Amino acid sequence: MTMPSAVEPKAPNKDEHSGGLLHHCLGHFATGVTIVSYRAGEGTRGLTINSFTAVSLDPPLILICLDKRSNAIEVVPYSGFAINVLGSDQKDLAMHFSGRKRASVAPQWRDVGGVPLLSSNLAWLRCEPASVHDAGDHTIVVGQVMDFGASGRDPLCFFRGQFLQFDDIPSPVDPKN
């Protein structure tokens, strides 16, 4: 069956996709901001990501997409890691862990099940890698959620290349009620 031309998928145009245009378009999808934290040898490492996505409640699965050029790609697909969802006052940490290290930023960590967690965050999930999928210049890591927690803080958001805060955040609710 031939598809009507109105819905025919547009052939990928190398110039459009490899340049900043696709990046610009994708930046219109507003997201939260997270830091993926993990151990590498004796050290604690982290990277800022916004590709964090909920996948499944049963079993409990999330995913992240890692750039194949990142340092994290050598470790995270093979060992435990944590997702730290950032609060509205944690923009400096987001910058620090996105390759723009700031001398004034001194992250505080605590250990949960052998994985480093930021001592302050909006929500957190400790994960074990469940599966790894090749995806172009990124690798998708699906993580099984082993442990998690949330606080009632406001979120840090990312939209069109800017860190933002919302003005009209609903009050936190107790999930047990």
- Amino acid code (one letter) for 115: V
One residue of 99, 149, 152, 172 binding ligand FMN per CB under 6 A: 99
Stretch of residues binding ligand FMN (CB under 6 A), selected from 17-25, 62-70, 128-136, 165-173: 62-70
The answer to the question of residue 55 lying near ligand FMN (CB under 6 A) is no
One residue of 62, 72, 122, 140 binding ligand FMN per CB under 6 A: 72
The answer to the question of residue 51 lying near ligand FMN (CB under 6 A) is yes
- Considering the complex, what minimum distance in angstroms separates the CB of residue 43 from ligand FMN? 11
- Considering the complex, what minimum distance in angstroms separates the CB of residue 135 from ligand FMN? 11
One residue of 62, 63, 66, 156 binding ligand FMN per CB under 6 A: 66
Longest dimension (CA), the chain: 61
**DSSP label of 174:** -
One residue of 37, 50, 84, 121 binding ligand FMN per CB under 6 A: 50
The answer to the question of residue 63 lying near ligand FMN (CB under 6 A) is no
Site for ligand FMN in 124-163 (CB under 6 A): 158
Residue number with CB closer to ligand FMN (11 or 26): 26
H-helix or E-strand spanning residue 26 = helix 20-26
**DSSP label of 177:** -
Residue 117: how many other CB atoms lie within 10 Å: 23
DSSP for 88-157 reads TT-HHHHHHTTT---TT----EEEETTEEEESS-SEEEEEEEEEEEEETTEEEEEEEEEEEEE-SPPBPE
Whether residue 38 contacts residue 83, with contact meaning beta carbons closer than 8 Å, is answered with no
> Which residues would be at the binding site for ligand FMN (CB under 6 A)?
33, 47-51, 65-67, 70-72, 98-99, 158
